[in-house]
Amino acid sequence: MKTITTVKEMRALSDQLRKDKKIALVPTMGYLHEGHLALVRKARELADVTVVSIFVNPTQFGPKEDLAKYPRDFDRDAQLLEKENTDIIFYPDAKEMYPDRYSTYIEVRGLQDHLCGKTRVGHFTGVATVVAKLFNIVKPHFAVFGQKDYQQLKVIERMARDLNMDVEVVPYPTVREKDGLAMSSRNTYLSADEHRTSLLISASMAKAQELFKKGERHSPALRRTVEEVLRSRDGIDIEYVSICDSATLEEVREIKDNAVLAIACRVGKTRLIDNTIFTEA
């Protein structure tokens, strides 16, 4: 396993590799958990060479968000990736990615404004921008993204299509703790009690799926049920409960196939998101 920290070296290596190998990229912000490692295993299935980028991207954090305290542990990450037979870690610093007079940003209009975009203004611009840069530097044939960050996945799929990027964006199902909590680097912020409270999120989604299977197709009814479950304990603040179209992320009133239930909550100071897709059997 090789760790590369400069754009120049990464690009030169990718150019060399692309001559006779397929490359898959897993973009991460580090502090890896089992969810990331599942993406790495998927990448290894898809391609000859697996590149994992570790970069806590400043442009996707708002001024009041947790950039400074976002958890970081490169040595631990490197050990985990070594065990998964990762080929290359791309590990640039902020100066390498955003040099002096950096000015260019990518907006995926519409899609970026729903769900998390309402409160995290500029977040998806930062995400789209850094992912475009990583695509141009690593030049992967495949890039694997978790479905847990559903809006991020949709923004990146749209960007790749719209800008004619020659990369296949591959979604991967959300990986969960045994108790149902969606894996996230931010789970490390949760106290034991907060962790228990957070389980209401997956519990509310399970309840919604149960009602959907019994035939409920009316969004306001499902949303009310989800909100009731979430409010059944103190210490959880709902940011949104949205039932939306899987392509446009616009709210739907009547549920058709592939609508998405997306939830964002704050448990203590920790912001958590999760989602589930309603699929006709």
Binding mask 188-207 for a second copy (x = CB under 8 A): --------------------
What secondary structure does DSSP assign to 12-35, as a single string?
A: HHHHHHHTT--EEEEEE-SS--HH
**Looking at beta carbons only, is 14 or 86 nearer to a second copy?**
14
244 binds a second copy (CB under 8 A): no
Count of residues engaged in binding a second copy, rule: CB under 8 A: 32
State yes or no: is 123 an active-site residue: no
Handedness of CA 209, 215, 219, 223 (dihedral sign): negative
| Torsion angle of the four alpha carbons 51, 24, 115, 229, in this order, in degrees rounded to the nearest 10 | -90
7 binds a second copy (CB under 8 A): yes
Sheet containing 142-146: which strands, arranged edge to edge? Answer: 2-4, 88-90, 49-54, 23-28, 142-146, 168-172
Interface positions, 8-27, toward a second copy (CB under 8 A): 11, 15
Amino acid at 172: Y
Please pick, from the candidates 53, 129, 184, 219, the single residue that binds a second copy as defined by CB under 8 A. 129
d(CA 27, CA 148): 14
**Looking at beta carbons only, is 145 or 212 nearer to a second copy?**
145
Catalytic site residue from 33, 36, 123, 218: 36
110 binds a second copy (CB under 8 A): yes
108 binds a second copy (CB under 8 A): yes
163 binds a second copy (CB under 8 A): yes
**C-alpha gyration radius of the chain:** 19
164 binds a second copy (CB under 8 A): yes
Interface positions, 50-79, toward a second copy (CB under 8 A): none
Contact (CB, 8 A) for 267 and 190: yes
**Looking at beta carbons only, is 31 or 150 nearer to a second copy?**
150
**Looking at beta carbons only, is 191 or 248 nearer to a second copy?**
248
**Looking at beta carbons only, is 80 or 137 nearer to a second copy?**
137
d(CA 213, CA 54): 40
Please pick, from the candidates 137, 205, 230, 262, the single residue that binds a second copy as defined by CB under 8 A. 137
Contact (CB, 8 A) for 261 and 240: no
- What burial class does residue 224 get, using C-beta atoms within 10 Å of its C-beta: 0-12 exposed, 13-18 middle, 19+ buried? exposed
Residues serving a catalytic function are: 36
Return residues touching a second copy (CB under 8 A). 7, 11, 15, 99, 101-111, 128-129, 132-133, 136-137, 139, 158-159, 161-166, 247-248
